[in-house]
Amino acid sequence: MRPPPSDTQKQSVLGNTGRNADLVTELTRARQQVQSLEERARQAHLAYLRETVLHEQSVETFPLAFAIWNRLGRLVRWNGAFRRLVAYEAQELAGRDLPGLIHSEDQPVFGDAIARAFDRGEQMQIQVRLEAKNGERIPIDCRLRAARVAREEYVFLAAEDIRQSLSTENDLRRAKERLDLALSASSLALWDWDLGSDTVYFNEGWAALLGAPLREATFSGDEVYALCHPDDQERYDRAVSAALQGARATFECEYRTQKMNGEWMWVASRGKVTQRKDNGDPKRLTGTSADITARKEAEERADFLATRDALTGLPNRLLLLDRLEQGVSNAARKRTGIGVLLVDLDNFKTINDSLGHDIGDDLLCQVGQRLAPCLRVTDTLARLGGDEFAVVLENLDIDGQRGTQHVAEKILHAMAAPFQVHGHQLNSSCSIGISLFPADGRDANALMRAADVAMYDAKKHGRNTYKFFAQEMNARAHERLAIESYLRSALARDELRLYFQPRVGFARNDLLGVEALLRWQHPQRGLIGPDKFIGVAEDSGLIVPIGEWVLTRACQQVRAWQRDLGELKVSVNVSVGQIADGERLFSAVTRALDDSGLAPDALELELTESLLMMQVDEKVTLLNRLGKLGVSVAIDDFGTGYSSLSYLKRLPVDALKIDKSFVKDVEVDMHDTAIVRAILALAHSLKLNAVAEGVETARQHAALRSMGCDEFQGYFASPPLPAHEFEERYFARC
């Protein structure tokens, strides 16, 4: 500012008026210029102030922590976010050494980043921990930039507090670790299929399952598919598609996959679509897989056991039916025939009951071995249980008869040679029932039923033969079935009856005893003879309780008659099924005697030759025990068993009953005469009683009497009689 003009100056100016006017103008202009300059300076200053405030405010309101420090490391600027982060007052921060605010462990990284920011002029990004005033360490993600401003170098820092995200990350990592731990403990593998990028991520669990080094792995969907066993790929594919298309809520599949060592491993995978696009298309499929090889092997083993016969290792009924069912549908399609053969051993029960189960079992195994070579590899041989085998022949011509007949004959031939079992030579023929598809049945069960019916027919026709199913056989089979089911309740309903046939002495024609013979008073069918149901009772095991009932009733009845008739013996027939359990038979006998009060020497048990023939030692013991009691033993139907006679010497037997087939023509057929004579000689040389069965005529009677036979039974004296008729006839005489 210039000082105002003095009076002399004013005078001189006024003294020179023209020049003064110019000066005034000049001055005015200069003043105006000064004023304009001053105004611009003020405006510039205002703009500067505004800029500075705006700048400071924006830095202050910047959400990130912001700080500037100079090359010496002194803080020159910072914002509120930064101050709050480190929790220092503003005056405490001014000129503070910034690296000192960094946690000592992170200082090398931090220093290095700054150096690089200066050297390369790049923006650096690192994670370090700030050390707050209260000692808390605050993880930050910071960006560092170096800049030269007015010949001074500065470092600019913008940092983000990452405590929150780190803890989320930590939580996630911990959660994953826990999950991995749980998965590894449960030997589960985790997988996650991103369908967009077609990447399947597998965790370490998967590598462990495959036997690969422990690491996570990724595959494409196709690679996973390719690892799948070729036989399982279709199933796997179907399960994946069903889950992706939403047809099923979950993906579930058990399949085989190859391990690193080349072995196949069974895997159970379960998962579900965990993300879908807005249009519903699947985005990711996530789930777990577990090694189920051990379970599968156990299942396969159980499956094998469930479909195999434990004794012979052959397919069992279940598997046979399954194959037959399959065969029927194939045959229907290809228009071919099927043959079903049921092969039943003829005398197995006797062998098993008398020689014991070990021998029976061995025989069955040998039979299986003999049958197998009679078949082609495509045929099925099964053991249905007991002594029953079955064969299914496939791919026959539509008639099927010739092919089946050929195999049936081969089987009969193969069975013809004796079996060597534990030192025993056993003859075991078989009866074969045959049914054909499509003629005899359209499904497995119908074919099996038809073959069964045919098999019983084969048995009836003398055994050791085969029979094709024929419609008329059905009626007979039905009868058999009906008998079995009714027989079960016959005992309970008191439908069994005993008939008594007199045993007469030749010498004085006197009544010596009676044979108790079983009848069944059927409510609808009337009186049924034993030949119609004893076989069924034996097959079903019912013979044991029935036999015990006979013993009890026979002893009671005869004991009652003894009061009027004096001495009277009673013979009771005993069958294979009863003698198999010697102990039970023995106690049944003693109970029957005790309960009735009959003297043991009044009781005789009739056993057939075939029964006694086997396991003689055991029989000897049992019969000796009975003998000691006083009970006698007779051999029934003697002469029909074709057995060695040597056992007769060893067994404690009291009587031989000559079978009625020799008696029938004894007086006319010289062969029969010879046989009867031989039997009588044998009996007498062994001091046994000889009883002729089925004596019907006076001539037979006379012939036998002249030959020296001791006793007889037969219509000539009397048919078997119900108790009251017996009483009427014999009580009247005494």
> What is the nearest approach in angstroms of ligand C2E to the Cβ of residue 300?
47
Q: How far is the CB of 491 from Mg ion (least distance, A)?
A: 21
Q: Which helix (H) or strand (E) holds 665?
A: none
Say which DSSP state 370 is in: H
Burial class from Cβ neighbours inside 10 Å (0-12, 13-18, 19+) for residue 125 reads: exposed
Q: Which is nearer to ligand C2E, 228 or 721 (CB)?
A: 721
Q: How far apart are CA 129 and CA 112, in angstroms?
A: 15
The answer to whether residue 641 forms part of the interface with ligand C2E (CB under 6 A) is no
Would you say 391 or 528 has its CB closer to ligand C2E? 528
Nearer to Mg ion, 609 or 693 (CB): 693
Unique residue bearing structure tokens 């005078």: 11
Q: In the set 715, 728, 729, 731, which binds ligand C2E (CB under 6 A)?
A: 715
What is the DSSP annotation of 28-91? HHHHHHHHHHHHHHHHHHHHHHHHHHHHHHHHHH-SSEEEEEETTSBEEEE-HHHHHHHT--HH
Alpha carbons 686 and 679: distance in angstroms, whole number = 11
Q: List, in sequence order, the alpha helices (H) in 131-264.
A: 163-185, 204-210, 221-227, 233-244
- Which DSSP state fits 439? T
* 534 sits near ligand C2E (criterion: CB under 6 A): yes
Distances (CA, A) of 117 to 70, 75, 125, 159, 408: 13, 17, 10, 15, 99
- Nearer to ligand C2E by C-beta: 160 or 604? 604
Looking at this protein, which amino acid is placed at residue 7?
Answer: D
The piece of 176-184, 346-354, 520-528, 711-719 that touches ligand C2E (CB under 6 A) is: 711-719
Candidates 289, 316, 380, 573; binder of ligand C2E (CB under 6 A) is 573
* Region 574-613 residues binding ligand C2E, contact defined as CB under 6 A: 574-575, 606
State in angstroms the smallest separation of the CB of 501 from ligand C2E.
6
Q: Which is nearer to Mg ion, 161 or 693 (CB)?
A: 693
454: partner contacted, choices Mg ion, ligand C2E, none (Cβ within 5-8 A by kind): none
Minimum Å gap between C-beta 576 and ligand C2E is 9
What is the binding site for Mg ion (CB under 5 A)?
573, 606, 636-637, 693
Minimum Å gap between C-beta 726 and Mg ion is: 17
Q: Are 374 and 306 in contact (CB under 8 A)?
A: no
Show the tokens assigned to 237: 């594919």
Choose one: 229-237, 349-357, 360-368, 713-721; the region binding ligand C2E (CB under 6 A): 713-721
Stretch of residues binding ligand C2E (CB under 6 A), selected from 46-54, 142-150, 198-206, 567-575: 567-575
Decide if residue 362 touches ligand C2E (CB under 6 A): no
Residue 282 interacts with which of Mg ion, ligand C2E, none, CB < 5 to 8 Å by class: none
Cα–chain center distance at 614:
41
Q: At what angle do helices 317-334 and 293-307 cross, to 10 degrees?
A: 80
The answer to whether residue 636 forms part of the interface with ligand C2E (CB under 6 A) is: yes
The CA angle 478-339-364, to the nearest 5 degrees, is 80
- Determine, following the binding rule CB under 6 A, whether residue 550 of this chain makes contact with ligand C2E: yes
Stretch that binds ligand C2E, among 202-210, 323-331, 351-359, 714-722 (CB under 6 A): 714-722
Alpha carbon 406 to its chain's center: 38
Q: Which of 450, 490, 518, 631 binds ligand C2E (CB under 6 A)?
A: 518
What does 714 bind: ligand C2E, Mg ion, none (CB cut-off 5 to 8 Å by kind)? ligand C2E
Please tell me whether residue 530 binds ligand C2E under the rule CB under 6 A: yes
Judged by CB under 6 A, how many residues of this single chain contact ligand C2E? 24
Nearest approach, Cβ of residue 399 and ligand C2E (Å): 42
Task: Give 558's contacts (C-beta < 8 A, 6+ positions apart).
Answer: 514, 568, 569, 570, 596, 598, 602
Mark the segment that binds ligand C2E (CB under 6 A) among 15-23, 114-122, 263-271, 525-533. 525-533
Q: What is the largest CA-CA distance in the chain?
A: 209
Of ligand C2E, Mg ion, none, which one sits near residue 517, judging by CB under 5 to 8 A according to partner kind?
ligand C2E
Any alpha helices (H) in 571-669, and if so which ranges? 576-579, 582-596, 609-613, 616-629, 646-650, 660-663
354 makes contact with ligand C2E (CB under 6 A): no
The secondary element (H helix, E strand) that includes residue 312 is: none
Cα distances from 557 to residues 561, 574, 603, in angstroms, run: 6, 18, 12
- Please, what is the minimum distance in Å from the beta carbon of residue 533 to Mg ion? 16
Yes or no: say if 658 and 691 are a contact pair by the CB < 8 Å rule.
yes
Among the listed ranges 139-147, 374-382, 641-649, 688-696, the one in contact with ligand C2E (CB under 6 A) is 688-696
501 lies in the site for ligand C2E, by CB under 6 A: yes
The answer to the question of residue 353 lying near ligand C2E (CB under 6 A) is no
Residue 148 CA to residue 525 CA, distance in Å, equals 126
Q: Which of 430, 713, 726, 730 binds ligand C2E (CB under 6 A)?
A: 713
And the tokens for 633? 């033993």
Asked, as a colleague might, if the bond just before 438 is cis with ω within 30 of 0, I would say: yes
Nearer to ligand C2E by C-beta: 418 or 529? 529
Would you tell me which residues interact with ligand C2E (CB under 6 A)? 501, 517-518, 529-531, 534, 547, 550, 573-575, 606, 636-637, 660, 693-696, 713-715, 720
